Structure 1
Amino acid sequence: MTPPQDGSGERASIEVEEFLPHPPAKVWRALTEPELLARWLMPNDFKPVVGHRFTFASKPIPNVDFDGTVDCRVLAIEEERLLRISWGGGGLDTTVTWRLVPEGRGTRLFIEHAGFDLDDPVNAFAFRGMGSGWRTGVIRSLHAALAEVG
């Protein structure tokens, strides 16, 4: 994670790095096929097309202005190498980037969720919660989904 803000207008990022014992093509499928993506992240109407707008469906968070819908748009795609999307809703205007690097018989996955304004209470709350979520729950779910995929 980038350090807390000092009011300079800089944004904070959540950064995760994980080795996956699967080839990049298989990891790419988990990132870009809607039914596989739903297994480890959230139900969605994703299409791997730059400019495509889609949503992730999550659970609403009580006492926070978040109805459970994450509004997204595909910003960049490099097949089996990079996927970048916008990630908005509930007061967030951020981006998520997945970068895949072949490593031995597997893939080194780098995730960056960037653009959190820690001067904003909603962004700071999301940054804290999503930081642990990306590192534990999401990565664990991705490992499980990849193990199930042929």
Structure 2
Amino acid sequence: MPHDKTAEDLRAIRIDQFIAHPPAKVWRALTEPELVARWLMPNDFKPEVGHRFTFTTTPRPNVDFDGVVYCEVLELEPEKLLKISWSDRKRADWTVTWRLEPEGKGTRLFLDHEGFDPDDEMQQFSRRIMDGGWRSQHFGAIAAIVDEL
């Protein structure tokens, strides 16, 4: 289902990128904890529905973030779909969904980071910062890691 690109979605970050490798390799970068730590944050992730885990990073007191992201695996279809909850237990109560679709000899990787409150100035600030991070850092790092596999 195509996303409406005509208006900015204040409730979500939506990105897709082609990666010139099959879904199985991209899936590894999204689900092997040591690989995820290289492109996102240190974690205790396990690819099991219901598994609760955390990401840890540098605290950002200016946005009342202590550096811990609390997550749970909500949905999982190997090499196709990974959906997790994403919370700071204060303001953020979001979901992050990764979808992988075969495209030629590679994979189209989709990210939907949803649940931002359009009326909450701090959440909108976080959405803008995270949108930039997903686009400029994380997607490129995922592709580089997959190149190494």
User: If the length of structure 2 is used for normalisation, what is the TM-score?
Assistant: 0.91
Give the Cα–Cα distance (whole angstroms) in 1 for the partners of residues 133 and 62 of structure 2: 19
Q: Which residue of 2 aligns with 1:9?
A: none
The Cα offsets for residues 50-109 of structure 1, whole Å up to 9 and x where unpaired, read as 010000111111322101111000000011000000001152000000000001111000
Q: Which residue of 2 aligns with 1:138?
A: 138
Q: Which residue of 1 aligns with 2:54?
A: 55
3-state SS, counterpart of residue 111 of structure 1:
strand
Give the Cα–Cα distance (whole angstroms) in 1 for the partners of residues 129 and 91 of structure 2: 14
Q: 5+ residue gaps in structure 1? A: 6-11
Give the Cα–Cα distance (whole angstroms) in 2 for the partners of residues 80 and 63 of structure 1: 37
Q: Which residue of 1 aligns with 2:104?
A: 104
Q: Which runs of 4+ in 1 moved over 6 A?
A: none
User: Which runs of structure 2 are paired with 1:63-102 in the superposition (5 Å)?
Assistant: 63-89=62-88, 91-102=91-102
Give the Cα–Cα distance (whole angstroms) in 2 for the partners of residues 86 and 43 of structure 1: 16
Q: CA deviation at 1:43?
A: 0.7
Q: Which residue of 1 aligns with 2:126?
A: 126
Question: What amino acid is aligned across from residue 16 of structure 1 in structure 2?
Answer: I
1:13 matches 2:12: yes
Distance verdict in 2 for CA 1:4–1:40, change over 3 Å = closer
Q: Which residue of 1 aligns with 2:34?
A: 35
Matched residue count: 143
Give the Cα–Cα distance (whole angstroms) in 1 for the partners of residues 9 and 97 of structure 2: 20
Question: What amino acid is aligned across from residue 123 of structure 2 in structure 1?
Answer: N
Give the Cα–Cα distance (whole angstroms) in 1 for the partners of residues 9 and 145 of structure 2: 33
Question: What amino acid is aligned across from residue 148 of structure 2 in structure 1?
Answer: E
Question: What amino acid is aligned across from residue 46 of structure 2 in structure 1?
Answer: K
3-state SS, counterpart of residue 129 of structure 1:
helix
User: If the length of structure 1 is used for normalisation, what is the TM-score?
Assistant: 0.90
Q: 5+ residue gaps in structure 2? A: none
Give the Cα–Cα distance (whole angstroms) in 2 for the partners of residues 47 and 126 of structure 1: 26
Q: CA deviation at 1:16?
A: 0.4
Give the Cα–Cα distance (whole angstroms) in 1 for the partners of residues 42 and 144 of structure 2: 16
3-state SS, counterpart of residue 116 of structure 1:
coil
Q: CA deviation at 1:4?
A: 5.7
